[in-house]
Amino acid sequence: MSDFSLSEINEKISARSGFVDELKKGLGQVIVGQTELVEKIIISLLANGHILLEGVPGLAKTLIVKTISQLIDTQFQRIQFTPDMLPADLLGTLIFNQKTSSFEIRKGPIFSNIILADEINRAPSKVQSALLEAMQERQITIGEESFILDQPFLVLATQNPIEQEGTYPLPEAQVDRFMLKLKVDYPSKEEERIILRKSAKTHVVDLVKPVISSDEILDAQSLLNEIYVDEKVEEYVLNLIFATRDPEGSGMGDLGGLIEYGASPRATINLVLGAKARAFLQHRGYITPEDVRYIAMDVLRHRIILNFEAEAEELTPEDIIQRLLETVIIP
């Protein structure tokens, strides 16, 4: 690629990514802390992916997602998953109308732009499958009629790491459909002091006005395809992924007996897409290895399956990924 065309892409990205700062500013007026979480939700939205969020209740997950949907003027729906839930409760169903003696379609809450699927692991596997199929296909079939879901479409599914009783763990093959798995931590003491002063009231009203339209998000999603990926960055991504599948061949023989299954090709795709979205956030028309490293933990943590030996040594996928990032050489 010539310097001229690269500078051209840089200018185009710089000119059309200005709304990102407006989005962050709007979120900063409502959300205290959680800067990295907010940034990664925006990355997933731009890369047209979905997020699995793990964290205890009360860490502003709903507030963040609701605020983003208000800022980009889209529809938001929070769905509480329960053990007695049916796929029809999520997707919609056919209702018999006695007046017209015909069946009418009643659409479910999935027909929205931004979905917060709360405690997804509390719903039976057939409900989880219905949601994950909608995420993948971006269309719903009710009766004999199919409906294309509105764009942008982002699913943010949460699961509580503490309570495991009465839950239905997501199968690994389905977890792979989430672009990122994020872990939410508690705010710092100073952040919590600000939250206390701001929110310890009987009525908290945050008036959020849209700063961009959903069309601008769709435009940004298509613009991501023009971001330049150098061959050396491609090589770095492939080396990281192949190190999860064949650690011995990557000079990490001690990890060979610990990884049951490495990352899938979907991880390769999502690493590059996530890196492109991060470059877009920073108003750049090209990605760097640092963009890849920034998103690597969240793309890979749910895609590397460890064996019993690793569990016996109390190793986590995060430990393995950290070792990969320290060992795999940047070309």
Average pLDDT of the segment spanning 197-223: 81
pTM of the model: 0.88
- 84 vs 197, higher pLDDT: 84
The residue length of the chain stands at: 331
Average pLDDT of the segment spanning 145-171: 82
pLDDT tens string 243-298: 998 887 777 777 778 888 889 999 999 999 999 999 999 999 999 999 999 999 99
- 245 vs 166, higher pLDDT: 245
* Reported confidence tier of residue 206, pLDDT bands at 50, 70, 90: low
- Residues of the chain within CATH 1.10.8.80 domain(s) are 227-327
- Residues of the chain within CATH 3.40.50.300 domain(s) are 27-199+207-219
- 174 vs 43, higher pLDDT: 43
Whether pLDDT at 41 is above 50: yes
What is the Cα–Cα distance from 275 to 109, expressed in whole angstroms?
Answer: 31
Average pLDDT of the segment spanning 18-34: 83
CATH assignment of 27-199+207-219? 3.40.50.300
Fold that domain 227-327 belongs to in CATH: Helicase, Ruva Protein; domain 3 (1.10.8)
pLDDT at 94 (0 to 100): 85
Query: Do residues 146 and 106 lie in contact, with contact meaning Cβ atoms separated by under 8 Å?
Result: no
